[in-house]
Chains A and B, each alone.
Chain A
Amino acid sequence: MDASMLGMWTFLITEVLFFGGMFAAYAVYRNMYPAAFASTSKFMDVILGGTNTAVLICSSLTMVLAVRAAQLSKRRDLILFTILTMIFGTAFLVIKAFEYHSKWVEHLIPGFDFQYDEPRYQHNAQILFFLYFCMTGMHALHMIVGLGLLTYLLVQSVRRVFNADYFAPVEMIGLYWHFVDVVWIFLFPLLYLIGHRR
Chain B
Amino acid sequence: MSTHHILIPKVSTLVAVWAALIVLTGVTSAVSYLELGEWNIVVALLIALTKASLVAWVFMAVRHSTTLTRLFCVAGLAWLSILILLTYSDYHTRDWTYQAKPWSTNKAAGDSR
A–B contact via C-beta, under 8 angstroms? yes
Which secondary structure dominates chain B's binding surface? helix
- A79 to B84 Cα, complex, angstroms: 41
Q: Are A31 and B14 in contact (CB under 8 A)?
A: no
- The interface residues of chain B lying within 8 Å CB-to-CB of A5 are 2, 69
Residue on A with the closest CB to B29? A50
Given contacts A13-B72, A50-B29, A64-B59, contact A1 B66 (CB under 8 A): yes
- A96 to B29 Cα, complex, angstroms: 18
Q: Are A60 and B55 in contact (CB under 8 A)?
A: yes
Interface centre among A12, A31, A57 (most CB of B within 10 A): A57
Given contacts A57-B21, A182-B52, A189-B48, contact A17 B32 (CB under 8 A): no
The verdict on A65 contacting chain B, using a C-beta distance below 8 Å, is yes
Q: Are A27 and B84 in contact (CB under 8 A)?
A: yes
Q: Are A185 and B55 in contact (CB under 8 A)?
A: yes
Q: What string of 1s and 0s marks CB contacts (under 8 Å) between A1-29 and chain B? A: 11001100110110011001101100110
Query: Considering only CB atoms and an 8 Å cut-off, how many residues of chain A contact the other chain?
Result: 52
- A186 to B29 Cα, complex, angstroms: 13
Could you tell me the distance in whole angstroms from the C-beta of B113 to the nearest C-beta in chain A? 9
The contact of A178 among B8, B44, B45, B56, by CB within 8 Å, is B56
Q: Are B28 and A175 in contact (CB under 8 A)?
A: no
Q: What string of 1s and 0s marks CB contacts (under 8 Å) between B75-113 and chain A? A: 111011001100110011000000000000000000000
Q: Are B18 and A57 in contact (CB under 8 A)?
A: yes
- The interface residues of chain A lying within 8 Å CB-to-CB of B26 are 50
Query: Considering only CB atoms and an 8 Å cut-off, how many residues of chain B contact the other chain?
Result: 50
Q: Are B80 and A16 in contact (CB under 8 A)?
A: yes
Q: What string of 1s and 0s marks CB contacts (under 8 Å) between A76-111 and chain B? A: 000000000000000000000000000000000000
Give the contacts of B26-68 with A (CB-CB under 8 A).
Answer: 26, 28-29, 32-33, 35, 40, 44-45, 47-48, 51-52, 55-56, 58-61, 65-66, 68
Q: Are A197 and B32 in contact (CB under 8 A)?
A: yes
The verdict on A116 contacting chain B, using a C-beta distance below 8 Å, is no
- A16 to B14 Cα, complex, angstroms: 24
Taking Cβ atoms with an 8 Å cutoff, the residues of B that contact A are 1-3, 6, 8-9, 11, 14-15, 17-18, 21-22, 25-26, 28-29, 32-33, 35, 40, 44-45, 47-48, 51-52, 55-56, 58-61, 65-66, 68-69, 72-73, 75-77, 79-80, 83-84, 87-88, 91-92
Given A1-B2, A60-B21, 16 more A-B residue pairs with CB atoms under 8 Å apart are A1-B69, A5-B2, A16-B80, A31-B92, A57-B22, A61-B15, A64-B14, A164-B3, A165-B1, A185-B48, A186-B52, A189-B48, A190-B48, A193-B32, A193-B40, A196-B32
